[in-house]
Amino acid sequence: MQHDMIIAGFGGQGALLIGKMLAYAGMHQGKEVSWLPSYGPEMRGGTANCTVVISDKPVGSPVIKSPRALLALNLPSLDKFEDSVRPGGVILVNTSLVNRPVRRTDLRVVSVAANDIANSLGNPRGANMVALGAFVGATGVVDLREVEALVRDTFARKPALVEVNLKALHAGFEAAGEQVKEAAVTPGSAGPNTAAE
């Protein structure tokens, strides 16, 4: 099976780190992976996105025009990539920075206020870890334990950051998981593109 996704946001939001961690987690699970970053010339505030493919078979191309999943960290990313997601796919939206609903009704939407959750944890810079956890919870693309191990490894030189980032990761995973469970319990009751707030 192949999972392909686009992770998109402003430069400095951690979109490329999220994609890289997903690719590494897939690789640690014995999958074939690709990670293809794309970003503007700005250091911060410009556009940044990456395409990630995680597959049981060799990856034919890292370029994906119609991904199965999108993580939109901000409104310009949702505007740019919403229409490209395959019908039946998943869009995870950071409602802290996206002020409109997803317009498509032929896919599943998971809404997580990543920045708000990170702020409530006292870790405003951890919004990317909240989003990463939510994406894993919404898609099941990789095992959460692999991502936890990567967080420990990535922040090993700064032990104080390990626990706060794991906390953010788990908060996002739980926020998305609640919506996925709710949708499974009441299938079709509110449509595929609704999410608990």
**So what's the architecture of 2-185 in CATH?**
3-Layer(aba) Sandwich (3.40)
Q: What is the phi/psi pair of residue 69, to 5°? A: -145, 150
pLDDT at 105 over 70: yes
* 15-62: pLDDT as tens digits: 999 999 999 999 999 999 999 999 777 666 677 999 999 999 999 888
User: Once rounded to an integer, what is the mean pLDDT over residues 77-88?
Assistant: 96
* DSSP letter (8 states) at residue 122: T
pTM: 0.89
Of 71, 48, 55, 62, the closest CA to residue 139 belongs to 71
Buried b (16+ CB within 10 A) or exposed e, 121-141: bebeebbbbbbbbbbbbbbeb
User: Once rounded to an integer, what is the mean pLDDT over residues 135-164?
Assistant: 94
Q: What is the phi/psi pair of residue 50, to 5°? A: -145, 155
Q: What is the pLDDT of residue 196?
A: 37
Domain ranges of the chain: 2-185
Of 122, 109, 114, the closest CA to residue 9 belongs to 114
pLDDT at 131 over 60: yes
pLDDT at 185 over 70: no
Distance CA 163, CA 194 (A): 32
pLDDT at 191 over 50: no
